[in-house]
């Protein structure tokens, strides 16, 4: 099921910051977003629910140490993916 991607301001800032530091990471994020848009639970993403302060959100892998934090929301009569943050594992959790 293809879902619309809705990047938050924090996600956009994190992506720009990542692009300055690591071009390969930016490419991995873009590739992962394509897969995420088509199927948020594709096994390649290793999507999982978060706990604690981030309860109610989901995270997926964009590479060895890269994560994308997102939420599935209702938008108009369909589901969309609100992109919350992205970055290295320790930065987003």
Q: In the prediction, which pLDDT does 8 show?
A: 98
Q: What is the pLDDT of residues 13-71, one digit of tens each?
A: 999 999 899 899 999 999 999 999 999 999 999 999 999 999 999 999 999 999 999 99
Domain count, the chain: 1
Determine the 3-state secondary structure of 71 from DSSP.
strand
Q: In the prediction, which pLDDT does 93 show?
A: 84
- 79 pLDDT above the threshold of 90: yes
Structural domain boundaries, residue 60: 4-92
* Domain harbouring 62, CATH code: 3.30.2310.20
Determine the 3-state secondary structure of 1 from DSSP.
coil
Q: In the prediction, which pLDDT does 54 show?
A: 95
CA dihedral 47, 59, 82, 78 (to 10 degrees): 20
Q: In the prediction, which pLDDT does 91 show?
A: 86
């Amino acid at each position: 099921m293809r879902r619309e991607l809705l990047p938050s301001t924090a996600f956009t800032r994190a992506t720009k910051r990542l692009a300055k530091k690591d071009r390969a990471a930016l490419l991995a994020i873009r590739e992962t977003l394509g897969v995420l848009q088509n199927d948020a639970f594709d096994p390649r993403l290793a999507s999982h629910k978060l706990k604690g302060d981030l309860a109610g959100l989901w995270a997926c892998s964009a590479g060895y140490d890269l994560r994308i934090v997102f939420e599935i929301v209702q938008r108009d009569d369909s589901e969309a993916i609100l992109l919350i943050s992205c970055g290295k594992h320790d930065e987003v959790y």
